[in-house]
Amino acid sequence: MKRYIAFIMTFLLVIVPDNPKAEIEGYDIIAKLSKENITLYAKKMNDLYYDFKLGFKGEIYSRPFWISAANNNTYAPQIYYEDINQDKKKELIIILNQGYGTGVLQEEVHVYRYTNGLIDVLVDNPMAIINKNVKTKLTTEKDEIILGDKVSVVDPKSIEPSHLFEDIGFGSIIDYEVINKNLMVRVSGQITPATFVGDIIITYEYRDKMYQAKAIEFITDINKNPFYGPVKH
């Protein structure tokens, strides 16, 4: 019985069409890597993409629970096909946008390897990484971000004390990129609803069958931030 259920689930998630290059009726093409024969399809309702299908080298994978913003090309879904774990095999990386606005950017990432089909690889949550590795202090005199033995200090004295948060907040901006064949995420720190003091930059590595933090930095200088400089994919 268990084998029968597993077979049904596999059939639902992977469908091989007669013509893998054909468009899927009722779906929009929202991202594509033509040279790699990789296409991301979705239905559109108002300002959201939903009910995704992923065309990967002749196979179609259904991802019915994905959603992504659909009203701004700047925040459209992204596809990368890069070797991000240095095993000489390319991984498929898909970045979706869950929402954006003034002081808000919420992205999620999906990473796959291919072994007789696409296999989902877990990516450690950046907020969990920050909670484990970053300590913060915020007073009217200074705010501190402590990473290991490195302490970064930012002066909040120009801000009205009543506007300050109780502590430095993270999570309103979560921004993924593939930079120089590394999966990276930018998580901004803020001390008021409108005041950001810098970015936590996490570089991932593949370890123990998942992507975990290899390096964590706090950067206040935009000129030294890889997310704002020339990006090499």
Closest CA relative to residue 30, chosen from 15, 14, 51, 13: 51
* pLDDT tier, 161 (very low <50, low <70, confident <90, very high otherwise): confident
Q: Are residues 136 and 232 in the same domain?
A: yes
Question: pLDDT per residue over 162-209, tens digit each?
Answer: 889 999 999 999 999 999 999 999 999 999 998 999 999 999 999 999
Q: What is the pLDDT of residues 17-36, one digit of tens each?
A: 434 445 899 999 999 999 99
End-of-domain residue from the set 121, 142, 172: 121
Burial class (CB in 10 A: 0-12, 13-18, 19+), 58: exposed
pTM of the model: 0.88
19 and 111 share one domain: yes
* Domain span holding position 195: 123-233
Residue appearing with tokens 């893998």: 20
Residues 157, 129 within the same domain: yes
Final residue of a structural domain among 97, 121, 145: 121
Do 151 and 95 fall into the same domain? Answer: no
Residues 116, 127, single domain; the answer is no
Decide which of 121, 139, 166 is a domain's last residue: 121
Instruction: Compute the mean pLDDT over every residue in the chain, rounded to the nearest whole number.
Output: 89
Count of domains forming the chain: 2
Residues 155 and 181 in one domain: yes
Q: Are 46 and 3 within 8 A, CB to CB?
A: no
Q: What is the pLDDT of residue 8?
A: 39
Residues 110 and 127 in one domain: no
CB atoms within 10 A of CB 131: 11
Q: Are residues 114 and 27 in the same domain?
A: yes
